[in-house]
Amino acid sequence: MRRWLVCLIGVLLLASCQRDGQMSSTYRGIEGMILIPSGEFIMGTDDTNSPADQRPAHQVYPDAFYIDKYEVTNRQYEQFIIAGGYQKKQFWTEEGWEFITKKQIDRPLGLGTRYLSAAPNQPVVGISWYEANAYARWAGKRLPTEAEWEKASRGTNGKRYPWGMEMDFTKVFYHFGRDPAIVGSYPAGVSHYGVFDMAGNVWEWCADWYDEAYYLKTSQRNPRGPAQGTMKVMRGGSWNSSRMQMQCTYRDSNNPDYRNTNIGFRCVRDAK
């Protein structure tokens, strides 16, 4: 009887481990993410002093999603490198795989694994859109849509900055030097939902193709950007950006293969 019970317990433990392993693979990194509830918010602005691609203000309804509380760090990205992320084609788009193969890329721009280890809590930078997207796939996540990013940044009451309507130099890391700050260094500047560094520190890649006139033709429910394009959206400004670029509505873009030391990213996943 005792032997039978031991065997039964062993089987149950094995099954539990297998289930846990499956969950870990599917939902890797859920800890450290914040739930953004479904519902409408105001996207864009009617301020005529703002660039035309931010207008008009319009109502958008994203479904609920989780977003990384912080930008992806060197420590996190190093795990992708160690796991062979640059050698595994399944995580890359066709164009992204061609890009890293032809250019023989196996790490961020200008930063070797030694630097990644030396500054583990700074946001990883020098990352193309292709690399950010591959990491997100590897982590069981995805890049945020432009609408998701803006909602996580400004909330539902149309804030100009993540913390409110007025610029506050104590709440944001921008125009300060040559390197990003450790993630979470400006807790007073968190968004309504508690997301850090949505203004300044590093630009963040979004999933969408960029279209200057997209707000004139966007869908109201879960907009995901144009079906095609040449540039990918970047949001949030960086350590060397201007004051205007700190605003939640500010839009920028670049080629998906562009890499710079002021560009990083964060990830999201569906809340299902």
In this prediction, residue 2 has a pLDDT band, given cuts at 50, 70 and 90, of: very low
Residue span of the structural domain in which 76 resides: 35-270
Percent of the chain with pLDDT over 70: 85
Q: Tell me whether residue 13 is in a domain.
A: no
User: For residue 163, is it left (φ>0), alpha (ψ between -120 and 50) or beta?
Assistant: alpha
Mode of pairing for the β-strands spanning 232-235 and 268-270: unpaired
Q: Tell me whether residue 185 is in a domain.
A: yes
Q: Tell me whether residue 198 is in a domain.
A: yes
Q: Tell me whether residue 10 is in a domain.
A: no
DSSP-derived letter for residue 113 is H
> What values do phi and psi take at 34, rounded to 5?
-120, 135
What's the CA gap between 189 and 242, in Å, rounded?
A: 17
Q: Tell me whether residue 98 is in a domain.
A: yes
Count structural domains, the chain: 1
pLDDT of residue 201: 94
Judged against a pLDDT cut of 60, whether residue 5 lies above it is answered with no
DSSP-derived letter for residue 48 is T
In this prediction, residue 169 has a pLDDT band, given cuts at 50, 70 and 90, of: confident
Q: Tell me whether residue 122 is in a domain.
A: yes
Q: Please, what is the end-to-end C-alpha distance for the chain in angstroms?
A: 43
Q: Tell me whether residue 3 is in a domain.
A: no
Lowest mean pLDDT among 18-27, 61-70, 188-197: 18-27
- Is the pTM higher than 0.85? yes
Q: Tell me whether residue 5 is in a domain.
A: no
Reported as a single tens digit per residue, the pLDDT across 56-91 is: 999 999 999 999 999 999 999 999 999 999 999 999
Query: Over the chain, what is the mean pLDDT?
Result: 88
Token pair for 15: 């099954």
Q: What CATH number is attached to the domain comprising 230?
A: 3.90.1580.10
Coil, strand or helix: which one is 204? strand
